[in-house]
Chain A
Amino acid sequence: MKDAETGDDKVNGIHETPMLDELEGGPWPSFVTGLKRLRDSKDKKYAPMMNDLLGQLEHSYEERLGFWKGGTLSVLGYGGGIIPRFSEVAKDYPASKEFHTLRVMPPAGNHYNTDILRQLCDIWEEHGSGLIAFHGQSGDIMFQGCTSEAAQPAFDAFNEIGFDLGGAGPALRTAMSCVGHARCEQSCFDGVRAHRGIINRLLDEMHRPAMPYKFKFKFSGCGNDCVNAIHRADFAVIGTWRDDIKIKQDKVKEHIAEVGRKYTIDTVVNMCPTRAISLNDDDTLEIDNKSCVRCMHCINVMTKALSPGDDRGASIMIGGKRSLKVGDLMGTMIIPFMKLETDEDFEKLEEFAEECMEFFADNALEHERIGECIDRIGVPAFLEAMNIPADPNMVNHPRTSSYVRTDDFNEEAAKYFERKAREAGMTVAADD
């Protein structure tokens, strides 16, 4: 806030921030109080930067406008991973005229110990502003606020302790995975392995951006989708299983004894989306596993009694994204089930990921996400390009429009029956 006469908003060299000050009260932890702690660290070289940052933020609150512009900045050997920010009001707030963010990939599953967190803090205290977000919507640790000059030494220091820059721009982006096998009984595949396997294999596409647009992977251990993969990833890997839900009938009875029969009918039986559950007269559960869609609801409610089956793996949905430019898209089911257990299984997953990236690089237009690209050419063309057979699990229902050329329908049908026969373990003519 500027003094009307002097044009100065500082008292004893500190920017006054009356609007931001109002965000210091209340029971939730205050980011403003944190910013002020950095500003008041007089022995630290970032203190003046944070003073001017607070001044600029207060200015934004007053004017209701942002005052950052982008630019280009990278570290040696890389073409992305840093979000450059230059102030448009640097004249008034010179110490924070450069306030860049380093996007750094977290360990898969966001696991840390206090020792590594302290090391990350020490590095950012030395080279940056002392402001860190765990984590950005991109999935990165966001080290916010360093000068252009400090970006390289900051990265070097992170890199020395085993951390690497994430993605930015038209490139493979930082991925996210849920807590998974490390702590969750509902996790249907090894998320750490899938996450690290795919990203580290395709790392070149992250560090040297050369794709039509961004490409994101996310890994959720089950249909609860704790990392929001289906909507927020171009390539969503979501855990599932093929065999029957496991039921411990004694635990079912205990659950019903505890919460009541009516409550169990209301919250478990009646809430099954495919009416696959019924409650027997003796308070045991019967599940029609052929009708079950692995939605996770009953397992969420009866955590002790029900659990995913043993024949586990993942579904892969392609094309999730946010608004720009055709509107929000959920990922579309492309691989209903991929077994994820052996080395070969994971190799197959990584190969498929690589093929999808290649398809994207070859076929998407500039600034087009893979979901939009598939929309433009149609799912059947994408399946053909990727050599994936059509599967009823890919659609809500078959087409309702007759405007399609079907002269090779019989050949396509023959392929379907052949595939079905193979899946059933029968030999088919083509294999002879």
Chain B
Amino acid sequence: MNDMSAKPRMPDEVGVPDPFPYMHPLSVKNYGNWDYHERKRPGVLCHVSKSGDKLFTVRAGTQRQMDVYTIRKLCDIGDEFADGHIRFTTRSNIEYMVADEAKVEPLIEALTEAGFPVGGTGGSISMISHTQGWLHCDIPGTDASGVVKSLMDKMHKEFVREQMPNRVRITTSCCQINCGGQGDIAVNVQYTKPPKINHDLVANVCERPAVVARCPVAAIRPAMVDGKPSLEIDEKKCVCCGACYPPCPPMQINGADSTKIAIWVGGKHSNARSKPTFHKLAVANLPNNPPHWPEVTEVVMKILETYKKDAKHWERMGEWIERIGWNRFFELTGLAFTKHHIDTWTGARKTMNASAHVHF
């Protein structure tokens, strides 16, 4: 080994890269000096600066999990039809910034031609914010990209136009940790059975006190099983959340009889009008049915149709339900209200109707 190879390269701890070298020149010039914006058509924003400069943005959907060929194709489009400056939104939509309005139409055509739908602005259904699933996660109950692809195929029309009452933000999560976050509609794995324990492996694989501590309902305790140190579960207490599975893979939470899908509604992060809200349970126990998850798609589409038809302009999903009442929500969507919709977790009393207000 010579001296050069013996000397390892230490990292240059540069941290968060400076975005200014990559920004559109009009963004740099008008940084913090914008005046207003308008939406010329779905998928296109026009921001006007106090200096009078105009910056057009064309937004398009991507598959998020992109191969380098797709990214290079997006770059080719950016070089040929736009100004070479690109950003991605929180929901993995790509945005091209252009200074010249004449470039907007050819850019839209090029994106559409290449299979990237232009839209995702205003009262549209934007791309689903999602997780990794079977492709890369170590604890997934379902896939992410496949569910999203199936749903976006169905909702494509509402991505490329702005005909929903307000923006619709959908999320998916492959386990109950809910990495997808809050959404107007959230499609999340919901386990229905306690974990199945492989007692041969627990002692070697799991840090048992940490697993005991992880359980939100104190249902796990150390035990000797067949002469081996292991863990056991009080199945009456267990809420089937799967929190023990990541720190202890021999406590398998997934299985055909356990891994189901629940749909939640009415979550939002924005502070506009009402305060941010968590999503609420609409329906549970839907089958985890690849490759198209038709039962899930059907319920999501039904909720979307009902919201579209019944909500007032600018009402988000949760605000619409707040106005019409949960009684009417379940009636209009044809979903069942069960005892499982009534919260039992910490703070549950605050979710009850402590009044004489009733919707008929």
Binding site for B on A (CB under 8 A): 19-20, 22-23, 25-32, 34-35, 37-38, 57, 60-61, 64-70, 75-78, 83, 85, 99, 101, 105-118, 121, 124-125, 130-137, 144, 155-156, 159-160, 162-165, 175-176, 178-179, 181-185, 187, 190, 192, 195-196, 199-200, 203, 207, 223-232, 238, 263, 266-267, 271-273, 293-297, 300-301, 303-304, 307, 322-328, 330, 366-367
Closest to B141 in A: A66
Contact A227 B90 (CB under 8 A): yes
Q: From B72-80, B219-227, B301-309, B328-336, give the one contacting chain A.
A: B72-80
Residues of A close to B15: CB separation below 8 A: 105, 164, 196, 199-200, 203
- Docked pose: A425 CA to B133 CA in angstroms: 57
Residue pair A28, B17 in contact (C-beta under 8 Å): no
Q: Once the chains bind, are B92 and A295 in contact (CB under 8 Å)?
A: no
The contact sample of 7 A-B pairs, CB cut-off 8 A, is A23-B146, A28-B117, A34-B69, A67-B134, A185-B34, A199-B16, A294-B271
Q: Is the CB of A297 within 8 A of B272?
A: yes
Q: Tell me how far the C-beta of A38 lies from the nearest C-beta in chain B, rounded to whole angstroms.
A: 5
Q: Are B345 and A29 in contact (CB under 8 A)?
A: no
The answer on a CB contact under 8 Å between A114 and B152 is: no
Q: Which 10 A-B pairs have the closest CB atoms?
A: A26-B153, A223-B271, A34-B67, A107-B19, A185-B34, A200-B15, A60-B134, A28-B152, A111-B19, A181-B32
Q: Is the interface of B mostly helix, strand, loop or mixed?
A: loop
- Whether A121 lies near B68 (C-beta < 8 A) is yes
Query: Does B106 sit at the interface, judged by CB under 8 A?
Result: no
Q: Which of chain B's residues have a CB closer than 8 A to the CB of A267?
A: 313-314
- CB proximity to A under 8 Å, residues B181-210: 181-182, 210
B259 and A185 within 8 A (CB): no
- Choose among A29, A75, A307, A328 the residue that contacts B182 (Cβ–Cβ < 8 A): A328
Instruction: Decide if B65 touches A133 in the complex (CB within 8 Å).
Output: yes
Contacts A76-B9, A200-B16 known; A295 to B273 CB distance under 8 Å? yes
B135 at the interface (CB under 8 A from A): yes
Q: How far is the CA of A327 from the CA of B177 in the complex (A)?
A: 9
Query: B19 touching A182 by the CB < 8 A rule?
Result: yes
Most chain B CB within 10 A, of A124, A175, A230, is at A230
Given A113-B22, A224-B272, A323-B178, verify A307-B36 contact (CB < 8 Å): yes
Contact across chains for A185 and B182 when beta carbons are under 8 A apart: no
Interface residues of B in 276-307 (CB under 8 A from A): 276, 278, 288, 290-292
Residue of A nearest to B122 (CB): A300
Q: Are A230 and B117 in contact (CB under 8 A)?
A: no
User: Does the CB pair A68–B75 fall under 8 Å?
Assistant: no
Return chain B residues, CB-CB under 8 Å to A207.
Answer: 11, 13
Q: How far is the CA of A414 from the CA of B216 in the complex (A)?
A: 41
Nearest Cβ on chain A to B358's Cβ, whole angstroms: 24
Residues of A contacting B143 with CB < 8 Å? 57, 60-61
- A61-B181 in contact given A121-B71, A267-B313, A304-B36 (Cβ < 8 Å): no
Contacts of B269 in A (CB 8 A): 225, 228-232
B11 touches A76 (CB 8 A): yes
Complex contact B88–A66 (CB within 8 A): no
Q: Complex: how many Å from CA A190 to CA B116?
A: 31
B61 contacts across to A, CB distance below 8 A: 28-29
Which chain B residue has the least Cβ–Cβ distance from A139?
A: B90
B163 close to chain A: CB less than 8 A: no
Contact partner, B177, options A29, A133, A324, Cβ 8 Å:
A324
- Are A225 and B276 also in contact (CB < 8 A) when A111-B23, A326-B346 are? yes
Number of A-B pairs, beta carbon distance below 8 Å: 346
B186 to chain A, nearest CB (A): 11
Chain A's closest residue to B49 (CB) is A185
Asked whether any CB of chain A lies closer than 8 Å to the CB of B52, the reply is: no
Cross-chain contact B181 with A228 (CB below 8 angstroms): yes
Instruction: Write the chain B residue with the least CB distance to A189.
Output: B32
Closest B residue to A302 by CB, please name it. Answer: B36
Beta-carbon contact of B97 and A29 below 8 Å: no
What 1/0 mask marks residues of chain B from 140 to 164 whose CB sits below 8 Å from any chain A CB?
1111011001101100100000000
B65 nearest in chain A by CB position: A31
Contact A183 B57, CB 8 Å, known A34-B67, A68-B138, A159-B12? yes
- Decide yes or no whether B31 CB sits under 8 A from chain A: yes
Q: Which residue of B lies closest to A69 (CB)?
A: B138
Given A137-B179, A327-B345, do A144 and B271 touch, yes or no (CB 8 Å)? no
- Interface range, B side: 35 or more
By beta carbon, the residue of chain A nearest B69 is A37
Give the nearest-CB partner of B13 in chain A. A203
A27 and B156 within 8 A (CB): yes
Residues of B within 8 A of A (CB): 8-24, 27-28, 31-32, 34-38, 47, 55, 57, 61-72, 74-75, 78-79, 84-90, 92, 94, 97, 115-117, 129-143, 145-146, 149-150, 152-153, 156, 176-182, 210, 213-214, 216, 241, 243, 249, 254-256, 259, 269-274, 276, 278, 288, 290-292, 312-314, 345-347
A396 to chain B, nearest CB (A): 9
A261, chain B: closest CB distance, angstroms: 15
Please determine whether A34 and B85 come into contact, CB atoms closer than 8 angstroms: no
Q: Across the interface, which residues of A come within 8 angstroms of B86, CB to CB?
A: 111-114, 117
Whole-angstrom CA separation of A13 from B13 in the bound complex: 43
In the complex, besides A164-B17, A182-B19, A303-B38, 11 extra interface pairs with C-beta distance below 8 angstroms are A77-B11, A111-B86, A114-B75, A159-B12, A178-B90, A185-B35, A230-B269, A231-B278, A273-B274, A322-B179, A325-B216
Q: Are B10 and A330 closer than 8 Å at their CB atoms?
A: no
**Is B13 a contact partner of A367 (Cβ separation < 8 A)?**
no
* A297 to B89 alpha-carbon distance, docked (Å): 21
Q: Judging by beta carbons under 8 Å apart, are B288 and A64 in contact?
A: yes
**A204 to B, closest residue via Cβ:** B13
B290 adjacent to A61 (CB under 8 Å): yes
Which residue on chain B has the smallest CB distance to residue A35? B67
A203 to B254, CA, bound (A): 37
A121 adjacent to B72 (CB under 8 Å): yes
Q: How distant is the Cα of A271 from the Cα of B171 in the complex, in angstroms?
A: 26
Q: Is the beta-carbon distance between B63 and A66 smaller than 8 angstroms?
A: no
Question: How many Å from the CB of A296 to the closest CB on chain B?
Answer: 5
**A35 partner residues in chain B, CB cutoff 8 A:** 65, 67
Contact of B19 among A78, A109, A131, A165 (CB under 8 A): A109
User: B90 touches which one: A163, A176, A195, A263 (CB < 8 A)?
Assistant: A176
User: Residues of A contacting B129 with CB < 8 Å?
Assistant: 137
A182 to B37, CA, bound (A): 13
A134's contact among B37, B92, B140, B259, by CB below 8 Å, is which? B92
Determine the residue in chain A with the shortest Cβ distance to B315. Answer: A271
- The verdict on A297 contacting B16 (CB below 8 Å), with A26-B149, A29-B115 known, is no
Q: Which residues of A contact B72 (CB under 8 A)?
A: 118, 121
B71 near A29 with CB under 8 A, answer no
Contacting residues, chain A, for B57 (C-beta < 8 A): 183
User: In the complex, what's the smallest C-beta–C-beta distance from B5 to chain A, in angstroms?
Assistant: 13
